[in-house]
Amino acid sequence: MLSMFVDFLFPPRCPSCKSYVERRGGFCGACTRRLTGLRTVARSVDAVSYLAGIWALGYYREGVRDLLRTLKYRREKSVLPYLHGMLAAGEAVLMQLPEQIVAVPVPLAPARAHERGFNQTELIFAPWLKAHGIAFESLLVRSRETAPLYEFSREERRRELRGAFVCANGAQIAGRHILLLDDIMTTGTTLLECARTLKRAGAENIYALVLASEHS
Ligand SMILES: [Zn+2]
């Protein structure tokens, strides 16, 4: 009843193009087609040897990009339902993974985590992981601050990130299957460096799932 009243006052709109939609919390049909779509991006990245598979749930384009920026820089958690809606397609990924798997978020730089107050990747994936009975463990931490990567080439990113992650104190990694999670994938360098760190600590198979990627 209350929701009908809210819908009357504030009819649900697509968060990307602002056109009216039937149900609150999703993109319109055109934006769904433009912004979402599960795909494997493993072949777009070089040196995938540490990662047994990389999947993206959506495209890092205007729409998804704005939602993520609103969450990260304006710290507005009201956009989370739209991002949560994109995870439904992840079901198909889970069917390809070993049953015993632990989810590990890519850790933020300490300064950024402190300023933001949360790791957006955890907020995006937590309800979905819980619904599927997958534990979230912060097995990785940043060992040092790194420069912002957006203007770096792939080689510069690799150099900047080398050794930037270490295993958390007392982390149980040997022999485990791990699903790395991140909000955005650009060159894949961050995921690769995380996977390299986990592999050296004895992880069995490492997979990666990101909300949005620039790769098609
Ligand atoms: Zn739309």
Percent of the chain with pLDDT over 90: 71
Ligand 1 centroid, distance to 31 Cα (angstroms): 4
pLDDT in tens, 99-143: 999 999 999 988 888 899 999 999 999 999 999 999 999 999 999
Q: What is the pLDDT of residues 181-193, one digit of tens each?
A: 999 998 888 999 9
Mean pLDDT across the chain: 90
Tell how far the Cα of 53 is from the centroid of ligand 1, in angstroms: 30
CA 84/CA 128 separation, integer angstroms: 7
Where do the domains of the chain lie? 36-213
Report residues near ion ligand 1: CB below 5 Å: 14, 16-17, 28, 31
Non-local (6+) Cβ contacts of 168 within 8 A are: 138, 139, 140, 141
User: DSSP letter at 42?
Assistant: G
The CATH code of domain 36-213 reads: 3.40.50
Residue 13, pLDDT score? 92
Separation of CA 40 and ligand 1 centre (Å)? 24
Mean pLDDT of 159-169: 92
